[in-house]
Amino acid sequence: MSTRTERPRIVLYSADIARALTRISHEILESNRGPDGLVLLGIPTRGVTLAERIGVLLADFSGTQVPVGALDVTMYRDDLHRNPTRTPRPTQIPPGGIDGKVVVLVDDVLFSGRSIRAALDALQDIGRPSVVRLATLVDRGHRELPIRPDFVGKNLPSSRDERVNVRLAEVDGVEEVTIES
């Protein structure tokens, strides 16, 4: 009996990702009534790349540079006992910090909400933003915590048994979002 490996199904191509980020960027500007006081913090690895792309789009649309940084949540996660080999990445807070700012956390896939809970804990150690918002390229559901994104590129209902993979050119050399069993 042969076992057949199912190929990942592409659900977002490069142009779809670009459109989603453009829409998210417009929604961020509209929600904030412009770029003033915004700070984008990407969650490594792909969330940082997405935050950088959104930062470029915000500057293009508004004419104002929005600070972009990275927020590593590794040591704040509640699953380190299950995945102890996770390598911490540097946290980079833009000059001017986050106190009193509108911080938009950016991540690639929102699933259980545990990474975002960890990000909120990490933010607490860094400063006190006036508001924290969440932008995610893919929301696949299955929340375990009461966390909801403010800005979503694509709602992608999926089974817990499936895996959603975001691949970005800067990190992976290819640009796509796939789902696989």
pLDDT digit string, tens, across residues 124-178:
999 999 999 999 999 998 898 999 999 999 999 899 999 999 999 999 999 999 9
C-beta separation of 54 from 27 below 8 A: no
Q: What is the pLDDT of residue 166?
A: 97
Q: Which amino acid, residue 159?
A: S
| 6 is a domain residue | no
Rounded to whole angstroms, the Cα distance separating 70 from 50 reads 11
Angle between helices 46-62 and 14-32 (to 10 degrees): 60
C-beta separation of 10 from 176 below 8 A: yes
pLDDT digit string, tens, across residues 8-20:
999 999 999 999 9
Total structural domains in the chain? Answer: 1
pLDDT digit string, tens, across residues 11-57:
999 999 999 999 999 999 999 999 999 999 999 999 999 999 999 99
pLDDT classification of 7: cutoffs 50, 70, 90? confident
Q: Which domain holds residue 68?
A: 14-77+91-180
Q: What is the pLDDT of residue 86?
A: 64
| 66 is a domain residue | yes
Q: What is the pLDDT of residue 130?
A: 98
| 99 is a domain residue | yes
Q: For position 143, which CATH number holds?
A: 3.40.50.2020
| 135 is a domain residue | yes
Helix or strand or coil: residue 105? Answer: strand
| 119 is a domain residue | yes
Q: Which amino acid, residue 137?
A: L
| 19 is a domain residue | yes
| 145 is a domain residue | yes
Biggest alpha carbon distance in the chain? 62
| 25 is a domain residue | yes
Rounded to whole angstroms, the Cα distance separating 59 from 55 reads 6
Q: What is the pLDDT of residue 63?
A: 97
